Amino acid sequence: MPIKNRFAELLPEITEWRRDMHRHPEILFDTHRTSALVTEKLRAFGCDEVVEGIGRTGVVGVIKGRTDSTGKVVGLRADMDALPIHEQTGAEWASGTAGAMHACGHDGHTAMLLGAAKYLSETRNFDGTCVVIFQPAEEGGGGGKEMCDDGMMDRWNIQEVYGMHNWPGRKVGEFAIRPGAFFAATDVFEIALEGKGGHAAKPQEVIDTTLMGAHLVTALQQIVSRNADPTKQIVVSVTSFETSSNAFNVIPQRAHIRGTVRTMAPEMRDLAEKRMEEIAAGVAATFGGTIEVNYHRNYPVMVNHEDQTEFAAEAARAVSGQCEDAPLVMGGEDFAFMLEERPGAYILIGNGDTAPVHHPEYDFTDEAIPAGCSWWAEVVERRMPAA
């Protein structure tokens, strides 16, 4: 694998950064320690500008090439936040924070981009400007949107933007990508059911929210099986069902249902929301209770731009000698907001035969660091070749 020699030399140092972040995970926008570490490193590397507080706790670093004859500006983005999961890896660098861990590899993403920033600050072998973006709150908080809403793209005149995610099950350091829709839109819903509670021995006197909810959960599955075009991707998952009573002999007055909808096309998103409202109204009428649906549109579909995807694949082939076609992913990714503002692409890098992401036994594979750093550097040097 033709890795840049500098990253092989830097591997122990970058690994220690990564493991330090892993020991101190931070959730959503509360990435204060991580953001401070990133800021300190970028300033020590000699970045031309380092700005904190973009998107609340995001950090942006600016690295100018030796020349700037074209005015080209390329953004590179890594996410910094962890997940509310209790770690079970047993690693010596395991999380020291109860109920929080880097279960998605964002510590690895941040460490790799820091490594690339150090190299690019040392060499500056490109014609233009590189903007390194360290984002909080990817895991459900929409930190990417907040950084864009803070004017990041216009402030630094970013013209293209690239992102990367590790991928368990793919050989360490190998790449995969696809143009067009890649990661799904991720919406969430909450449904409040109100009936008439009472004694379990007198069902004729109640409006049973448990029964009403059970029918609703089953009926929601027809959105996928009977309403949606079977050639289009959609997932409707009810993930929580709670009632207002835990007693054996009480029929509860209220119930609450939560879940998620994943889609790859706007019309399927519209269909899911419309049918959920209609089905809930029908079930409520059938049983005589009330049902209120709160449908929240969260991350949009993440769409890779065709030209930038091919370029990202070329950079990957330059590093690893290969870049495979990636499958559609029904998980969400808030890099989608950045790709709505600027053309760019998102690529996967292999994490090896590890536990899946969002699993308490997952850990980022440090052996992937040189390949990831090399890809970041290759994107910059190839997209903005030295004059």
Condensed to tens digits (0 to 9), the pLDDT of residues 142-162 reads 999 999 999 999 999 999 999
Structure confidence by residue, pLDDT tens digits, 180-220: 999 999 999 999 999 999 999 999 999 999 999 999 999 99
Residue 233 contacts residue 263 (beta carbons within 8 Å) = yes
Helix (H, G, I), strand (E, B) or coil at 92: coil
**Interval 318-323 mean pLDDT:** 96
Percent of the chain with pLDDT over 70: 99
Which CATH number is correct for 5-183+302-383, 3.40.190.10, 3.30.1300.10, 3.40.630.10, 3.40.140.10? 3.40.630.10
**Interval 2-23 mean pLDDT:** 94
Predicted local distance difference test score (pLDDT) of residue 152: 98
Residue 315 has pLDDT above 80, yes or no: yes
Predicted local distance difference test score (pLDDT) of residue 230: 95
Residue 1 has pLDDT above 60, yes or no: no
Structure confidence by residue, pLDDT tens digits, 48-93: 999 999 999 999 999 999 999 999 999 999 999 999 999 999 999 9
User: How many whole angstroms separate alpha carbon 2 and alpha carbon 278?
Assistant: 56
Structure confidence by residue, pLDDT tens digits, 26-56: 999 999 999 999 999 999 999 999 999 999 9
- Ranges 3-17, 103-117, 362-376: which has the least confidence: 3-17
Structure confidence by residue, pLDDT tens digits, 209-253: 999 999 999 999 999 999 999 999 999 999 999 999 999 999 999
User: How many whole angstroms separate alpha carbon 350 and alpha carbon 368?
Assistant: 7
* Domain 185-299 in the same topology as domain 5-183+302-383: no
* Ligand-binding site membership of 106 (annotated): yes
Residue 303 contacts residue 336 (beta carbons within 8 Å) = yes
Provide the whole-model pTM.
0.95
* Ligand-binding site membership of 215 (annotated): no
Predicted local distance difference test score (pLDDT) of residue 387: 86
Please state, in angstroms and as integers, the Cα–Cα distance from residue 228 to each residue in 209, 225, 330, following that order.
27, 7, 16
* Ligand-binding site membership of 130 (annotated): no
Closest CA to 34 of 58, 11, 55, 54: 58
Residue 258 contacts residue 189 (beta carbons within 8 Å) = yes
Q: Which residues contact 36 (CB under 8 A, 6 or more apart)?
A: none
Q: What is the CATH number of domain 185-299?
A: 3.30.70.360
* Ligand-binding site membership of 256 (annotated): no
* Ligand-binding site membership of 109 (annotated): no
Closest CA to 14 of 365, 381, 380: 365
Percent of the chain with pLDDT over 90: 98
- Name the band, by pLDDT with cuts 50, 70 and 90, for residue 346: very high
Mean pLDDT of the chain: 97
Helices 32-45 & 5-23, crossing angle to 10 degrees?
150
**Interval 354-383 mean pLDDT:** 98
Closest CA to 299 of 271, 338, 326: 338
Q: Which residues pair with 62 in a beta bridge?
A: 49, 131
Q: Where are the domains of the chain?
A: 5-183+302-383, 185-299
Please state, in angstroms and as integers, the Cα–Cα distance from residue 271 to each residue in 66, 181, 225, 227, 292, following that order.
52, 18, 13, 8, 18
**Interval 87-111 mean pLDDT:** 98
Contacts 24+ apart (CB under 8 A), 47-50: 47/117, 47/121, 47/132
**Interval 281-300 mean pLDDT:** 97
Predicted local distance difference test score (pLDDT) of residue 189: 98
Predicted local distance difference test score (pLDDT) of residue 3: 74
User: How many whole angstroms separate alpha carbon 135 and alpha carbon 28?
Assistant: 10
Residue 119 contacts residue 10 (beta carbons within 8 Å) = yes
Predicted local distance difference test score (pLDDT) of residue 4: 82
